[in-house]
Every structure is written in structure tokens, then in C-alpha cells.
């Protein structure tokens, strides 16, 4: 079987959604880049039942190259993100509660906390609404992800990108925590946001943050 280790990592990532509070049931999807395409979770299969052979191998064109099951209905934005972002090697999409709640207001997350820079800029954008599984949703998500490693999807959830599956999952967790903090801050008062100059400085510091050289 091709790409066995990556298949196992994708399944491990998907199974972590519920324990980490990132979603329930079969909500969300996971993919990993391979040469000339990507592997993605299938549509409608409970994560606890997933086996390596269930994952769907897709070409960069979106054609199915291997697997007996249908790919996730969101395969289009996985395909288009990989095409637009050569550095991205893993994508995690979840319906985490706080990020989704904010996405249902059709607002992004501004620089109320310096950790917003974890997504690559001075905000976490919210892509305008489009029906799930459509090319319109994919196109809007790709635009919202320009120079970012995460975005919200209006009335839907969040997308997180990474150089590998652990880093993409970490971004998803960070965004969910930020969404929770932003929600709570708004209950008390309108949060004070950091300026663009300060956020540019923080984004620069984050480029090498945590890299120990070992």
C-alpha cells in the first residue's frame, strides 16, 4: 500500500478531534500532500472505523487515483489550497465549537491577543459563506488564506494548514483557543486590539519561535 505511514498519521489526526474538543461525529476532514496529489479522509466514515485502505488518493487535478470510497465532500478546497500553497503539506478542517460560533457571526478574529499571529498575520479572516463542498467555497477559502495558515468559514468551521499534520493540528487548536478567548472577552467589553505595526513585529518573531536548532 502506498504512503502507509502518512495514512496512519491522517487517521491518528482525525481520531484526535473529539478528545481535543475540535468536533464530534464525522465532522471535518484531514489530508496530507503526496507527490502529484494528496490523501484525504473519505466521506461519512466514523473516524474510529477508519483504516489505511479507506483513505482516498487524489491527483492534483481532483481525479481519484486510488480507493474504493468517496472522498470528503470538501476535497475541492484541499486540492486548491495545495495548488496555491506549495509549502503546505497538511490540511485540517474542523467544526470546533468556538471558532464555528464566531464564524456563524460572519466575522473573523482581530488582533485582540498577540497569539493571533500564529495564523500568520494581524487577523484570522472569515471566508464569505458558500455551500459546503462547492467550488465557490473553495475559492473563498483560498482567498481568506492568503498569507495565513488559518481561516474561518462563515456558518461552517475553520481550516488550518501546516508543514506536516502535527503542525496543522496545532494551528487548529490555537485558533480554537483564541476563538474561545475572543468570545469571552466580548462578553465583558469590546476587546482592545493591537496595531498593525506591533503585529508585524510579532509575526516576524514567530517565524523562528520555538526553533531550538536541535
**Catalytic amino acids?**
74
Q: What angle do CA 30, 7, 144 make, to 5 degrees?
A: 20
Give Cβ neighbours of residue 78 (< 8 Å, ≥ 6 apart): 29, 31, 38, 40, 58, 72, 91
Residue 37, Cβ density class (10 Å: 0-12 exposed, 13-18 middle, ≥19 buried): buried
Residue partners of 61: CB distance under 8 A and separation at least 6: 79
- Residue among 82, 79, 11, 93 nearest 46 (CA): 11
Max distance between CA atoms of the chain, in angstroms, equals 55
Amino acid at each position: 500500500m502506498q504512503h502507509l505511514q502518512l495514512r496512519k498519521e491522517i487517521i491518528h489526526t482525525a481520531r484526535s478531534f473529539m478528545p481535543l474538543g475540535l468536533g464530534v461525529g464525522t465532522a471535518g476532514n484531514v489530508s496530507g500532500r503526496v507527490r502529484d496529489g494528496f490523501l484525504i479522509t473519505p466521506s461519512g466514515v466514523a473516524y474510529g472505523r477508519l483504516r489505511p485502505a479507506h483513505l482516498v488518493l487524489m491527483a492534483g487535478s481532483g481525479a481519484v487515483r486510488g480507493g474504493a470510497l468517496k472522498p470528503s465532500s470538501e476535497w475541492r478546497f484541499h486540492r486548491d489550497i495545495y495548488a496555491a500553497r506549495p509549502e503546505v503539506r497538511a490540511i485540517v478542517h474542523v467544526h470546533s465549537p468556538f471558532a464555528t460560533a464566531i464564524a456563524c457571526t460572519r466575522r473573523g478574529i482581530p488582533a485582540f491577543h498577540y497569539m493571533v499571529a500564529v495564523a500568520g498575520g494581524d487577523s484570522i479572516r472569515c471566508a464569505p459563506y458558500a455551500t459546503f463542498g462547492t467550488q465557490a467555497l473553495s475559492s473563498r477559502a483560498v482567498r481568506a488564506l492568503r498569507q495565513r495558515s488559518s481561516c474561518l468559514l462563515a456558518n461552517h468551521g475553520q481550516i488550518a494548514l501546516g508543514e506536516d499534520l502535527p503542525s496543522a493540528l496545532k494551528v487548529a487548536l490555537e485558533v480554537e483557543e483564541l476563538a474561545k478567548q475572543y468570545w469571552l472577552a466580548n462578553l465583558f467589553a469590546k476587546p482592545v486590539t493591537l496595531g498593525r505595526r506591533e503585529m508585524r513585529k510579532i509575526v516576524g518573531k514567530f517565524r523562528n519561535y520555538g526553533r531550538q536548532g536541535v
